[in-house]
Amino acid sequence: MLLQTPESFKSRFNVEVRVLNEVIEINKTAKTITIRNLVNNNEYIEPYDALILSPGASPFVPPIKGIKNHLTHSLRNVPDMDAIIALIDKNKPAHATVCGGGFIGLEVAEALRQRNIKVTLVEFAPQVMGPVDIEIANMLHDELEAHGVQLKLGKALQEVSECEPEDQTLTLTLDDQSKLTTNLLIMAVGVKPEVSLAVNADLEIGELGGIKVDDYMRTSDPSIYAVGDAIESPDFVTGDSMLAPLAAPANRQGRLAANVIFGAQETYKKTQVTAICKVFDLAVSSTGLNEKTLRRKAMPYEKVYVHAASHAGYYPGAHPVTLKLLFHPESGAILGAQAVGKDGVDKRIDIIAVAQRAGLSVVDLQDLELCYAPPFGSARDVVNQAGLVATNVLKGDECIFHNDHLTTLNEQQILVDVRGGNEVAKQGLIPGAINIPVDEIRSNLDKLDKQKEILVYCQVGLRGHVAACLLTNLGYKVKNMTGGFKTWQLASR
Q: What is the dihedral of CA 368, 369, 370, 374, to 10 degrees?
A: 120
The conformational region for residue 70 under phi > 0 = left, psi -120 to 50 = alpha, else beta, is alpha
Identify the CA nearest to 476 among candidates 451, 446, 447, 443.
451
CA distances from 223 to 10, 52, 226, 257 (A): 25, 9, 10, 11
Helix (H, G, I), strand (E, B) or coil at 309: strand
With beta carbons less than 8 A apart as the criterion, state whether 386 and 394 touch.
no
460-477: string of b/e by CB count within 10 Å (b at 16+)?
A: bbbbbbbbbebbbeeebe
CA distances from 71 to 60, 171, 435 (A): 17, 11, 56
| Residue of 277, 371, 458, 469 marked active site | 458
**Whether residue 469 lies in the annotated active site:** no
Could you list the active site residues? 458
